[in-house]
A and B are shown apart, each in its own frame.
Chain A
Amino acid sequence: MTDTLAGGATPQNSQHTNDEARARLRKRYAAESRFKWLGAGAVLLSAFFLLLLLSTIVFKAFPAFHANQLTLPLNLSAENVDPDNLTGSNYDTIVNDALLSLFPQVEGRQERRQVRGLVSSGAPTLVRQALQNGSLQPGGTVDHAVPMDDFSDLYLKGLLAADSTETTVETLQNVAIDGAEATLSFSDDSLLQTARAAGAVEEDAGALRLTTGASSIIAYLGDGAVKLTAVEPGDTGVVARGSILSPVVAEAGGPVRLRVIATPEGQRKISDREIVWVDQLEADGRTASAWNTQFLFGGASREAEMAGIWGAVVGSALTMLVTLALSFPIGVSAAIYLEEFAPKNRLTGFIEVNINNLAAVPSIVFGLLGLAVFLNWFNLPRSAPLVGGMVLALMTLPTIIIASRAALRAVPPSIREAALGVGASKIQTVFHHVLPLAMPGILTGTIIGMAQALGETAPLLMIGMVAFIVDIPGGFTSPATVLPVQIFMWADFPEPAFQQKTSAAILILLGFLVLMNAVAVVLRKRFERRW
């Protein structure tokens, strides 16, 4: 319509004869095109922000969907594991022994502790579960993959110590080993610059000391690795001293690879020694990146690498089922009664106003109501999907009623009259003719309500669903949490790996929403009728 106006009414052939009128016309056209541009701009802007938001989430979430696993040679022989009493075995020891067998050189309590820290603390439990469900058979030494610790995992994904640079020095002359210390002599002094750039402290006679505040310099000689602690000018070049991180052979020749990790050791969550170990495991082919099944099908956990979303998915599904089962029949019945059967009087007017107001009540109020009525009065269990669903149903009801009434009202009166005209009763008219025609609209309203309920956290706070629950909920009364609550909790954990889990959980929530919507669209298509 605007096109015909804009195209047909050019100033030359129009009835706008004087300049003032033409100016007014131009102004109107200008306003129109301004509005169009503004509208398109608004759409573009929101599309841009939506894209930005989604891409940040996807980008951040990506590392959480795959995880690095370490293949351990587990000794599951009869002396360690009794096939008839699988729960009685000490799996902590089995996992630790397997780990230590990969690092025969490791001695001392502190180092052993660090080695243990390479794999997830949940590994023993996973081994026990694998034995119990038969995916792992006892007897002999068996290779089995277990998840790595979250920091080793982040390191392998290149998210920790990413700021490292490598150089090669060709002038190694001599290596002397004294216990855990090594002394390397080089015939040129380029290492002095490297150490200075790494933030070494200058002492007398040009000697440089690499303190804990400086970047780490690791020298690789063949398979071995030395962390440099001091570099000083020697007779023919420089002498570097350092502690051995991985065994060095004294006569090691050839070029020395120098790796400078910019973040000082004390300020990252993975030590130089662990970096060398993890690199070694990777070189041995013992680590592998795989789909993070633990994240997709595990329950909640305080350990980032063990934390899974499945408990929250099941909790959300159970809660949504309760919400739907309560709010849909009640909401639709209420709408049908109010729209088709109820007399129009003061009482129904009053109810109508109240329903409209309820739709705008903050959701936390429903949580408080649920706490007072369902928990304190009915004595229903805390943290249960049943109560969560009931609270969310209360919240969703007004939305469904309002949308359903609008949908019923939109059905042409001729349908009702025709039905009544051929002798149908009032109830037959409604259930056989009006309701099926209103169904697409009703379903749209229901989906809006359910989507809102799916994303709610606040009302669940009061009824104990904001809780740390590890076990996957088994029914409507067992403790459970829901997806948005899981996101809320993970966002608050200090470990950096949980930030990726947060984004990944958001993606799962969005997926859940899309799935719910898809079901509704299919249903709506089935009921839809056009005139």
Chain B
Amino acid sequence: MKKFLLTASAATIALAGAVGTAAARDQIRVVGSSTVFPFTTAVAERLGQSGEFPTPVVESTGTGGGMKLFCAGVGESHPDFTNASRAIKDSELEDCKANGVTPVEIKVGFDGIVISNSKAADQIDLTKEQIFAALAKNVEVDGKVVANPYTNWSDIDESLPNTKIEVLGPPPTSGTRDAFVELVMEEACPEAIEAADGCTEIREDGAYVEAGENDNLIVQKLEANADAFGIFGFSFLDQNADKLQGSTIGGVAPTFDAIAAGDYGVSRSLFIYAKKEHVGAIKGMEEFIKEYTTDAAWGPEGYLADKGLIPLPDDARAQQAEDAQALKGMGS
């Protein structure tokens, strides 16, 4: 018994000793958006496979959380890159500058947000106005703002199926939800509701189901319920094309080509930001940027396209690659 306790306390003391010697960092650290996470991890892995550098550690903190960590300062305890599913905000840029951080912006591609349902049901054609009418908390009926009265899709438009409105989507904490609200809800918002400041409010009467951040779960639920629709990123539709179909929005189907060409109305740009001050101090940062911006990675035939990233047009890609490799910092 005595021995047991002695060993345990010895281990504790040994641990306490280890605390003082936190090793210096030889590994790139990336934080930020969960949407960009799958792409950045793929690039990180390739860099690691080259055998010259340890594989970068990529953390999924969400765009906002990532920006906060990224802009907090310069030094080993701060990350070198952040993923973002939207452009950096002015307030965040100011925060960065105040802490001596110069971000280098790299637009890496697009992500389409799709509304899809099970293959067992028909594919439907929606407009942004119809989506707004189906999902907004308050809608305009005969010039008056009322709580959303629609229960079936056919209440909104007779061409739509006569089934209950049931949409599974991301919760308010999600970047996908923010993008969806910005690209669909705010765009299709009638003036009367805009005046009442209700464009971003999604109904809470059960027609919209917050299905958590796990998109695979939404996919499974859609398979089980042919009447339901789900909102998620294009890559999940792409990987589950045998079970699901994307609804067309404004007549355009969410396909790889339509999103890449900018025809599909609900797509957003994805970014990574590099910390200029760390280049040179942390080994492998330039190589990481280079790996990310080669056509073998982010090109139309690259491995990131296989993971669901929709590439930028050729000239934009060339320009981004050039700016990134020249480390063109923002506001410097």
Query: A residues engaging B (CB < 8 A)?
Result: 87, 113, 121-122, 124-125, 128, 263, 266-269, 301-303, 321-322, 324-326, 328-330, 332, 378-384, 386, 431, 435-436, 439, 464, 466-471, 475-479, 489, 491-496, 499
Contact A494–B49 (Cβ < 8 Å): no
Indicate the member of B18, B23, B49, B307 with the most A CB atoms within 10 Å.
B49
B58 CB-CB contact with A under 8 Å: yes
Given contacts A329-B12, A384-B22, 8 further A-B contacts (CB under 8 A): A128-B51, A301-B45, A321-B11, A325-B15, A381-B77, A479-B27, A494-B38, A494-B240
- How many Å lie between the Cα of A495 and that of B240 in the bound state? 8
Q: Give 10 closest A-B pairs by Cβ, nearest first.
A: A470-B55, A467-B59, A325-B11, A468-B58, A494-B239, A468-B41, A302-B42, A125-B49, A329-B8, A479-B57
A382 with B29, Cβ < 8 A, contacts A263-B242, A302-B38, A325-B11 known? yes
Indicate the member of A322, A325, A381, A435 with the most B CB atoms within 10 Å.
A325
Contact A380–B23 (Cβ < 8 Å): no
A266 with B241, Cβ < 8 A, contacts A301-B45, A468-B44, A494-B308 known? yes
Contact B239–A435 (Cβ < 8 Å): no
Distance in angstroms from A280 CB to nearest chain B CB is 23
B contact residues around A268 at 8 Å (CB)? 241-242
Looking at the complex, which one of A128, A328, A467, A475 makes contact with B57 (CB distance below 8 Å)?
A467
Distance in angstroms from B108 CB to nearest chain A CB is 15
Contact B45–A464 (Cβ < 8 Å): no
Stretch at the interface among B181-189, B190-198, B210-218, B265-273: B210-218
B238 CB-CB contact with A under 8 Å: yes
Contact indicator per residue, chain B 210-245, by CB within 8 Å of chain A (1) or not (0): 000111100000000000000000011011111000
Contact B41–A302 (Cβ < 8 Å): yes
Closest partner residue, chain B, to A478 (CB atom): B23
Contact B1–A436 (Cβ < 8 Å): yes
Distance in angstroms from B131 CB to nearest chain A CB is 23
Contact A477–B240 (Cβ < 8 Å): no
Indicate the member of B37, B236, B238, B303 with the most A CB atoms within 10 Å.
B37
Looking at the complex, which one of B5, B23, B57, B214 makes contact with A469 (CB distance below 8 Å)?
B57
Query: B residues engaging A (CB < 8 A)?
Result: 1-2, 5, 8-9, 11-12, 15, 18-19, 21-23, 25, 27, 29, 34, 37-38, 41-42, 44-45, 48-49, 51, 54-55, 57-60, 77, 119, 213-216, 235-236, 238-242, 301, 303, 307-308
Closest partner residue, chain A, to B60 (CB atom): A466
B contact residues around A269 at 8 Å (CB)? 239, 241-242
B contact residues around A489 at 8 Å (CB)? 60
Contact A471–B55 (Cβ < 8 Å): yes
Distance in angstroms from A328 CB to nearest chain B CB is 6
B contact residues around A468 at 8 Å (CB)? 37, 41, 44, 57-60
- How many Å lie between the Cα of A378 and that of B29 in the bound state? 19
B contact residues around A325 at 8 Å (CB)? 8, 11-12, 15
Contact A471–B42 (Cβ < 8 Å): no
Contact A476–B57 (Cβ < 8 Å): no
A contact residues around B301 at 8 Å (CB)? 113
Distance in angstroms from B307 CB to nearest chain A CB is 7
Distance in angstroms from A368 CB to nearest chain B CB is 13
B contact residues around A493 at 8 Å (CB)? 38, 216
- How many Å lie between the Cα of A262 and that of B156 in the bound state? 35
Looking at the complex, which one of B23, B58, B215 makes contact with A381 (CB distance below 8 Å)?
B23
**Could you show 22 A-B contacts with beta carbons less than 8 Å apart?**
A125-B49, A267-B119, A269-B239, A302-B41, A302-B307, A322-B15, A326-B15, A328-B8, A329-B12, A379-B77, A386-B15, A439-B1, A466-B59, A468-B37, A468-B57, A470-B45, A470-B48, A471-B48, A471-B54, A477-B22, A495-B239, A499-B216
- How many Å lie between the Cα of A496 and that of B241 in the bound state? 11
- How many Å lie between the Cα of A258 and that of B107 in the bound state? 48
Closest partner residue, chain B, to A389 (CB atom): B15
- How many Å lie between the Cα of A124 and that of B23 in the bound state? 31
B contact residues around A128 at 8 Å (CB)? 51
A381 with B54, Cβ < 8 A, contacts A466-B59, A468-B37, A494-B38 known? no
Contact A492–B44 (Cβ < 8 Å): no
- How many Å lie between the Cα of A256 and that of B280 in the bound state? 64
Looking at the complex, which one of B57, B58, B240 makes contact with A496 (CB distance below 8 Å)?
B240
A contact residues around B49 at 8 Å (CB)? 122, 124-125
- How many Å lie between the Cα of A268 and that of B23 in the bound state? 47
B contact residues around A479 at 8 Å (CB)? 27, 57
B contact residues around A496 at 8 Å (CB)? 239-240
- How many Å lie between the Cα of A399 and that of B51 in the bound state? 45
A contact residues around B242 at 8 Å (CB)? 263, 267-269
Contact A477–B8 (Cβ < 8 Å): no
A contact residues around B307 at 8 Å (CB)? 302
B contact residues around A87 at 8 Å (CB)? 51
A contact residues around B57 at 8 Å (CB)? 383, 467-469, 479
Closest partner residue, chain A, to B239 (CB atom): A494
- How many Å lie between the Cα of A435 and that of B49 in the bound state? 53
- How many Å lie between the Cα of A330 and that of B16 in the bound state? 13
Indicate the member of A263, A326, A468, A477 with the most B CB atoms within 10 Å.
A468
- How many Å lie between the Cα of A468 and that of B28 in the bound state? 12
- How many Å lie between the Cα of A330 and that of B8 in the bound state? 10
B contact residues around A301 at 8 Å (CB)? 45
Closest partner residue, chain A, to B78 (CB atom): A382
Contact B1–A435 (Cβ < 8 Å): yes
B contact residues around A113 at 8 Å (CB)? 301
- How many Å lie between the Cα of A496 and that of B307 in the bound state? 12
Distance in angstroms from A163 CB to nearest chain B CB is 10
Contact B5–A329 (Cβ < 8 Å): yes
Closest partner residue, chain B, to A332 (CB atom): B5
- How many Å lie between the Cα of A386 and that of B22 in the bound state? 10
Looking at the complex, which one of B34, B38, B215, B241 makes contact with A267 (CB distance below 8 Å)?
B241
Closest partner residue, chain B, to A88 (CB atom): B51
B contact residues around A470 at 8 Å (CB)? 44-45, 48, 55
Indicate the member of A328, A439, A478, A494 with the most B CB atoms within 10 Å.
A494
Contact B45–A302 (Cβ < 8 Å): yes
Closest partner residue, chain A, to B235 (CB atom): A494
Looking at the complex, which one of A330, A467, A475, A492 makes contact with B58 (CB distance below 8 Å)?
A467
A contact residues around B60 at 8 Å (CB)? 466-468, 489
Looking at the complex, which one of B9, B19, B119, B213 makes contact with A380 (CB distance below 8 Å)?
B19
A contact residues around B44 at 8 Å (CB)? 468, 470
Closest partner residue, chain A, to B220 (CB atom): A499
A contact residues around B216 at 8 Å (CB)? 491-494, 499
B contact residues around A326 at 8 Å (CB)? 12, 15
A contact residues around B11 at 8 Å (CB)? 321, 325
Looking at the complex, which one of B19, B38, B241, B303 makes contact with A386 (CB distance below 8 Å)?
B19
B contact residues around A492 at 8 Å (CB)? 34, 213-216
- How many Å lie between the Cα of A382 and that of B72 in the bound state? 14
B contact residues around A332 at 8 Å (CB)? 5
- How many Å lie between the Cα of A378 and that of B19 in the bound state? 9
Looking at the complex, which one of B23, B34, B77, B213 makes contact with A477 (CB distance below 8 Å)?
B23
B contact residues around A380 at 8 Å (CB)? 19, 22
Contact A386–B18 (Cβ < 8 Å): yes
Closest partner residue, chain A, to B58 (CB atom): A468
Contact B22–A379 (Cβ < 8 Å): yes
Closest partner residue, chain B, to A263 (CB atom): B242
Looking at the complex, which one of A384, A431, A478 makes contact with B1 (CB distance below 8 Å)?
A431
